[in-house]
């Protein structure tokens, strides 16, 4: 009698984690600070300030970004929403949306995702990229900056617990391989055991750089590379002495001569669980369109979406 195959995921644990994140999001969005807390924050912000004083606390400006992202609101609707919540507690005549949007441009948004701050020793890093439409901001950016960019290209790095640990943002003209190169020094210094990516990361400098850092590159090589290196003679039989980088590149390609065997041995087949699955969840929660227009606002919107997805939310009011 054949043994039943072991499940690839503990679904009870997975559903419990989803419930925990949903509870954190609900508590964050429904929590309301007291008038005393907001007053203390304003007093601290205006201490020693010259000129016009701040009338809206910085925490409310930051909170507005999460409200806008969570409920897919326009800036005008978001301002009305905030006025209904904080209108009696903030000493300002009107929470108008131009003031909030202007203040939001100077908001220092703390990004909780950084490979350098993660404990990745002996673990696997996963990478995948996707595109998101710019929506209303696409025509705006085309006219203002003279570009024909209609899509954003987003690269996300995750760990072996399906948690986002870093991300990069580019436009449709930026190749995904450059996103990996941008974070390559941090990946090399992370002490990870392996780096898992699709064929977009099969560049020689990336494969060699990871291997020299002691990180196994679980990256699908192109068929042309595998075919060209399949019958390459070993270094000791070559007339000319091969350089270390060339030896690493050949070994990487030869290992994938039997793709099915390599796929099972390295765990490449489970890549979708840890990387592509995060994009599916992100798009199910917030759609495939970015609402903001300026470069900083777009970065902050993507960051808030990932923070809401992972439950990594700031503590505006202790």
* Domain ranges (residues) in the chain: 11-108, 115-278
In this prediction, residue 193 carries a pLDDT of 93
Cα 6 → chain centroid: 31
With b for 16 or more beta-carbon neighbours within 10 A and e for fewer, the 224-253 pattern comes to ebbeebeebeeeeeeeeebeeebbbbbebb
Strands lying side by side in the sheet with 124-133: 164-171, 151-158, 124-133, 194-197, 216-219
Q: Are 97 and 78 in contact (CB under 8 A)?
A: yes
The pLDDT of residue 187: 94
Residue 186 pLDDT: 94
Query: Which pLDDT value is given to residue 145?
Result: 65
Fold of 115-278: Nucleotidyltransferase; domain 5 (3.30.420)
Q: What is the pLDDT of residue 289?
A: 83
Q: Which residues pair with 126 in a beta bridge?
A: 158, 196
pLDDT of residue 52: 84
Q: What is the pTM (predicted TM-score) of this model?
A: 0.83
Tokens standing for residue 112: 């909780």
Running DSSP on this structure, what letter comes out for residue 138?
H
Segment-wise mean pLDDT, segments of 10 residues, the chain, 318 residues: 56 81 87 87 88 86 88 85 84 76 83 87 90 71 67 87 87 82 92 90 89 92 70 55 79 85 84 78 84 81 89 82
Which of 137, 5, 166 lies closest to 75 in space, CA to CA?
Answer: 137
Closest to 158 measured CA to CA, from 205, 126, 203, 195:
126
> What pLDDT was estimated at residue 170?
82
């Amino acid at each position: 009698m054949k043994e039943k195959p072991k499940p690839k995921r503990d679904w009870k644990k997975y559903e419990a984690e989803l419930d925990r994140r949903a509870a954190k999001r609900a508590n964050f969005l429904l929590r309301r600070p007291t008038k005393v807390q907001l007053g203390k924050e304003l007093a601290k912000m205006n201490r020693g300030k010259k000129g016009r004083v701040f009338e809206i606390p910085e925490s409310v400006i930051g909170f507005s970004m999460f409200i806008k992202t969570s409920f897919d609101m326009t800036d005008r609707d978001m301002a009305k929403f905030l006025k209904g919540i904080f209108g009696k507690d903030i000493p300002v005549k009107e929470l108008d949306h131009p003031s909030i949007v202007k203040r939001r441009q100077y908001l220092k948004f703390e990004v909780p995702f950084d490979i350098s701050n993660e404990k990745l020793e002996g673990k696997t890093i996963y990478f995948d990229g996707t595109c998101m439409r710019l929506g209303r901001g696409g025509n705006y950016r085309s006219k203002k900056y003279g570009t024909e960019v209609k899509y954003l290209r987003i690269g996300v790095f995750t760990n072996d617990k399906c948690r986002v640990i870093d991300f990069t943002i580019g436009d449709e003209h930026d190749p995904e391989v450059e996103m990996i190169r941008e974070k390559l020094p941090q990946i090399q210094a992370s002490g990870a055991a392996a780096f898992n990516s699709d064929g977009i990361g099969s560049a020689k400098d990336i494969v060699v750089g990871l291997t020299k850092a002691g990180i196994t590159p679980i990256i699908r090589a192109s068929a042309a590379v595998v075919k060209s290196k399949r019958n390459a003679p070993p270094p000791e039989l070559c007339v000319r002495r091969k350089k270390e980088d060339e030896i690493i590149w050949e070994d990487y390609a030869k290992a994938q001569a039997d793709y099915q065997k390599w796929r099972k041995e390295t765990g490449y087949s489970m890549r979708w669980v840890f990387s592509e699955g995060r994009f599916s969840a992100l798009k199910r929660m917030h759609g495939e369109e970015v609402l903001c227009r300026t470069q900083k606002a777009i970065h902050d919107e993507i960051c808030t979406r990932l923070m809401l997805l992972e439950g990594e939310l700031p503590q505006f009011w202790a």
